[in-house]
Amino acid sequence: MADAPAHLPDKSWLETPGLRAVFNALANEGETRAVGGCVRNALLGEPIGDVDLATTLRPKDVIACAEAAGLRAVPTGLDHGTVTIIAAGTGYEVTTLRADAETHGRHATVAFHSDWEADAGRRDFTMNALYASRDGTLHDPLRGYADLMARQVRFIGDPVARIREDYLRILRFFRFFAWYGKGAPDEAALKACHAERAGLRNLSRERIGMEVIRVLAAPDPVMALSAMAGADVSASVFDGDTEPAGVGRLVALERATGRAPDPLLRLAALLGAEVNANILQERLRLSRDQTEQLKGLADHHFKAIPNRRMIERAVLNRGNRAAADLLLLSWVFSGETPEHRCWRSAFEIARDWQAPHFPLTGDDLIRAGMSPGPQVGEALWKAKEAWIESGYTLVREELLSLR
């Protein structure tokens, strides 16, 4: 079991102007440490996003210290001890050490204290219960460093108890495993996620949808998705079976073609060719744009390798990006490998072909005497089909004469 080092291997991120200003503002009262994801990623050598801070100061004292230093303090979550301090254009969440005196799913009554180990004990995973002082001293009260280095995502203490404090932790477990895990998922965590999955019904659909998208955004989420399915968590979220192998094929195609990962495309691959975008929108509270993207993928994927004219028509109607997505998903559903020449050629046409400019507009039709209304769109569609069939040779005057 790896012992935690005394100091972070790289503490340069602790010296950014904004963070330094916050530490300075709070330096004369209590103790303040960076906590969670920023420390975890610093130890892994991965990019650091938001920096969260934990402090022994009470929220009112955090506000007073920040304002005395000329910094703006926003009481973003006073009931839970959180104040956001704005420094050098960046917001830093500063949360007073606390224990959950009473929990209600995602809501808890908290009690403030100055016990760092007790604060660590209320967090979700051991790899998130890591702290760093402003000088880079590492604090590991629950030996989370060993789990982090082993890429083991483990709940702190009793997994069932941690989940019942916040049922979103079921999905967070699979998200963290997708991003940071290695090897087999923790068996105790899987059993707890399976046993407590009914609690997902207590969560807002927006929160569920957000976590699902975060799982799918991982570089390779297949093992996490398979574990979700095995624990019956996927069935609880999607109300049906999922196809993690489809995501596996998509990941392989992404790597082979240089395509950047797209969580929505992966969601379509996960749910198969018969995905119902409207039901999924309701279940995950997807945005209108996300729902339309899924509809386009589900309703128009190619059942076989399309010919060039079919691909060009897809580009003309959808644009290169959407057409390439359609080809990639169709390739996934075909079950063919990344080495398949014909599918690869079709994908490259969709991705790279530069569509000629369609020379007719609705205004052209109206100026030629057509009354505004649905018939304009229908006439444009017919003209565009004729233009495509001509090999894009018909000019505007010829298209107008087709009416």
Number of domains the chain contains = 4
In this prediction, residue 104 has a pLDDT band, given cuts at 50, 70 and 90, of low
Q: How many CB atoms lie within 10 A of CB 375?
A: 12
- Are 132 and 14 spatial neighbours (Cβ–Cβ below 8 Å)? yes
Q: Which pLDDT band holds residue 213 (cuts at 50, 70, 90)?
A: very high
9 and 114 in one domain? Answer: yes
What's the CA gap between 359 and 353, in Å, rounded?
18
What's the pLDDT band for 101 if we cut at 50, 70, 90?
low
Same domain, 178 and 247: no
Residues 106, 364: Cα–Cα separation, whole Å: 57
Measure the CA–CA gap between 222 and 205, rounded to whole angstroms: 23
Q: What is the CA radius of gyration of the chain?
A: 27
Cα dihedral: 296, 297, 301, 306 (round 10): 80
Whole-number pLDDT of residue 1 = 64
Average pLDDT, the chain: 93
Q: Are 86 and 72 in contact (CB under 8 A)?
A: yes
Report which of 166, 155, 162 is spatially closest to residue 104, judged by C-alpha positions.
166
SS3 at position 368: coil
Work out the percent of the chain whose per-residue pLDDT is above 70: 97
193 and 112 in one domain? no
pLDDT of res. 55: 96
First-to-last alpha carbon distance for the chain, in angstroms, is 78
Domain identity same for 163 and 142: no
Residue 75 has pLDDT above 80, yes or no: yes
Q: How far is CA 96 from the centre of its chain?
A: 28
pTM of the predicted protein model = 0.89
Domain that holds residue 169: 159-239
Q: Are residues 16 and 110 in the same domain?
A: yes
Q: Are strands 107-112 and 131-132 parallel, antiparallel or unpaired?
A: unpaired
Q: What is the pLDDT of residues 131-183, one digit of tens each?
A: 999 999 999 999 999 999 999 999 999 999 999 999 999 999 999 999 999 99
